[in-house]
Structure 1
Amino acid sequence: MKKGYIFISFILLILAGAFIAFHIYRNIIPMSPYDTGNSAGNLHNYGLVFEMGDKVYFANPYDSNCLYSMDPDGTHSKRLTNMGVKYISGANGILYFYMDSSNTSGKVTGLGSATNQYGVYRYNTKTGDLKCLAREMCGEVQLCGEYLYYQVKTDGGYLEKIKVNKTDKKVVYDEMASPVCYDNGIIFYSGVTKDHSIHMLYTQNGDYTRDFLTGYYFFPVVKNGYIYFMNGESNYSLWRASLLTGIPELVTSDRIDFYTIDDRYIYYAYSSETNPALKRCNLDGSDPVVLYNGIVNSLNTTSRELYFKVYGNDEMMYHMPLDGSRPAEMFLPQ
């Protein structure tokens, strides 16, 4: 009888240890100083679409912008949150985004529909665990190595960061600087209140800053050794400068409202009183073509598709292949 009791106790001890080990493993958040989230171009356009692994994650306009996943071809869509999200980013199977209850899924009833939540959240795509990392009224969010940098809108606005495992939260900068243009440990951002030049924030060396490019510039995006930006001193045309020389050069003289960039093309909302359009050009500005006629916004790309919205209809999204081989059509996740 005593031997049986000892054996049962031994088995229970093993099971308890296995449960504790599983719980610890389940809650380990993978992180690396080399992690980068969504592209700067997508995040300048609210970060509504993000591709990670074999899935595309998106804010579904047909369901109050709740977070959904789908296959890259638009099939097998699945709702992941009950509230609206934006600035979707992530790495290593973990998603990060801003979520708030100002938009709640109409498919949820009862207590789940009567919540007042907001902040920067983390979602584990393997376990389905959802956790609030920072209860703040936030703007843009970006994954920069082991930290999330995000704009806080209260108290005049400032830039804050928190480690992805919910430690080491601190204020970084006293302006609501945009953190989305992150490249090799450096955030390139436009000044907000003191000037509108482009500055560099060194995230892996104590968050110190230095000036990079003096001017009236907005929405920086780093691609292939250049930094692209909208030039407010030149009718909001698109320019770029070499990261080595800092010498600006014109990319397109078109007035631009929004733009995003992939490895081959620049996609932009051409601002015109008579012929507004969604246009595409090469990275040096050559070979411009019209992809869609109308006033567009919210330009987001994946490895296969360009997604966008049309002014005045925020509850609908369009998409088309990146190469323009098929005309734009309504995006209807299946």
Structure 2
Amino acid sequence: MKVVRRIIILVVALAIIGGLGYYKYINTVTFYNEEGTVGNTIGNLYGNGLFCESDGVVYFANPNDYSRIYKMNPDETDIEILANDSVYFINGDSHYLYYSRNGNRDSSQMGFLNVNINSLCRMSKRNGKVIILDDANCNAAALNGNSVLYFHYDSEDATSLYKVGIDGKVREQLSKSSIDPRCIYNGKLYYSGVEKDHNLHSMNIDTKDSAFVSEENLWMPIIEDNNLYYMNLDDNNRVYKSSLSGDGKTGITTYGTSGYNVAGNYLYYQSIKGNPDGIYRVDLTSGAEVLLAEGEYNNINVTSRYVYFADYKSGTTFHSPVGSIEVGLFDPPILPLDD
């Protein structure tokens, strides 16, 4: 019996040691992505990345709870709070969430021990463990493979383009210019020029080499299925569609826009000098355009089920099923964070 007891004790001890070792391993190892992995849609990132659908789950900044990070099903059921962090520019891959902490919420809610409130973070989906990828003032983040491209602010270069590995080990400046990092397609960064022109350029993210793509005078390019959507600065900021090289250029929207997004066969935009101003939906097949909500809105984000947009002044968020003309209030609950 003593021998059996010793064997049992040994097996239990080995199991505990193995469990502790595995726990330490999964909390220190980094799970890397396949080449070409992106963390959110380009259009959502232009809308401050407040919603991100990843592996059938929607992660979002709760507009009723100081933009703290929550998750839910695409049909808006099973809402849960994930962390105390207020967030924007949410990205997701199979194992992690990436986001910029938003330090603009009510300071009384931040907590006196909360530091790095504007930093770039990585959170484990499995256990909520957070690491800081860059403790500077960061925003406009976009995941590309095993790196995150983002705006980095410091006193020397002001706002410039940076890249950091998802393990946080390699951080480098890609450009001293404030090149927008949000339009990543097939492993390349596409952007509107910010110094000599507003033409379309591309950057090889690995070599930092830039190339001229199109002479269109544009802003906020979105590339989907080899189609280029953009705000045409030569036509009152109307949204146009063309090939990447500029061929087949066609005006899509009736009015100019301050922000837009693409959801499958539909384009949603906030009009400029509309009749009246508001959120419009354009059917990309028929060209039919309909006003969904009159007013001034921003932060247009889409998921597989809904399009979301916020009142410009109050921040009140609304939603509409993709393809529908129905609009309602998006009113998620405020939930306590478990200790």
> Under a length normalisation based on structure 1, what TM-score does the superposition of the two structures give?
0.89
How many residues are paired up?
329
Are residues 224 and 111 of structure 1, via their aligned partners in 2, closer, same or farther at CA, if it must alter by over 3 Å?
same
Are residues 148 and 109 of structure 1, via their aligned partners in 2, closer, same or farther at CA, if it must alter by over 3 Å?
closer
Supply the AA of the counterpart residue of 2:163: K
Distance 1:57 1:87 in 2: 11
- How far apart are residue 100 of structure 1 and its match? 3.5
Q: Are the counterparts in 2 of residues 75 and 333 from structure 1 also a CA contact under 8 Å?
A: no
1:254 is paired with a residue whose SS is strand
Corresponding position: 1:145 with 2:145 = yes
Are residues 109 and 254 of structure 1, via their aligned partners in 2, closer, same or farther at CA, if it must alter by over 3 Å?
closer
2:119 is paired with a residue whose SS is strand
Residue 158 of structure 1: which of 160, 183, 186 is its match?
160
- How far apart are residue 219 of structure 1 and its match? 0.3
Distance 2:221 2:111 in 1: 43
- 2:309 matched to which residue of 1? 308
Q: Are the counterparts in 2 of residues 83 and 103 from structure 1 also a CA contact under 8 Å?
A: no
Distance 1:156 1:70 in 2: 36
- How far apart are residue 253 of structure 1 and its match? 4.2
- 2:77 matched to which residue of 1? 75
- How far apart are residue 50 of structure 1 and its match? 0.9
Distance 1:138 1:195 in 2: 25
- How far apart are residue 329 of structure 1 and its match? 1.1
2:127 is paired with a residue whose SS is coil
Q: Are the counterparts in 2 of residues 101 and 115 from structure 1 also a CA contact under 8 Å?
A: no
- 1:207 matched to which residue of 2? 208
Are residues 182 and 216 of structure 1, via their aligned partners in 2, closer, same or farther at CA, if it must alter by over 3 Å?
same
Runs of 5+ consecutive residues of structure 1 not aligned to the other structure: none
Distance 2:286 2:191 in 1: 23
1:41 is paired with a residue whose SS is helix
Supply the AA of the counterpart residue of 1:331: F
- 2:91 matched to which residue of 1? 89
Are residues 96 and 82 of structure 1, via their aligned partners in 2, closer, same or farther at CA, if it must alter by over 3 Å?
same
Supply the AA of the counterpart residue of 2:130: L
RMSD of aligned residue pairs (Cα, Å): 2.6
Distance 1:128 1:189 in 2: 33
Supply the AA of the counterpart residue of 2:243: S
Q: Are the counterparts in 2 of residues 119 and 132 from structure 1 also a CA contact under 8 Å?
A: yes
Name which of structure 1's ranges 177-186 and 29-38 shifts more when overlaid on structure 2: 29-38
Distance 1:170 1:285 in 2: 45
Distance 1:285 1:177 in 2: 35
- How far apart are residue 292 of structure 1 and its match? 1.3
Identity %: 26
- How far apart are residue 70 of structure 1 and its match? 1.6
Distance 2:4 2:285 in 1: 79
- 1:134 matched to which residue of 2? 134
**CA offset digits 1:48-93 (Å, max 9, x no partner):** 1111123211111111111111222223322222232111111103
Supply the AA of the counterpart residue of 2:295: G
Distance 2:10 2:275 in 1: 80
Q: Are the counterparts in 2 of residues 252 and 285 from structure 1 also a CA contact under 8 Å?
A: no
- How far apart are residue 284 of structure 1 and its match? 5.9
Distance 1:178 1:109 in 2: 28
- 1:333 matched to which residue of 2? 332
Distance 2:80 2:61 in 1: 11
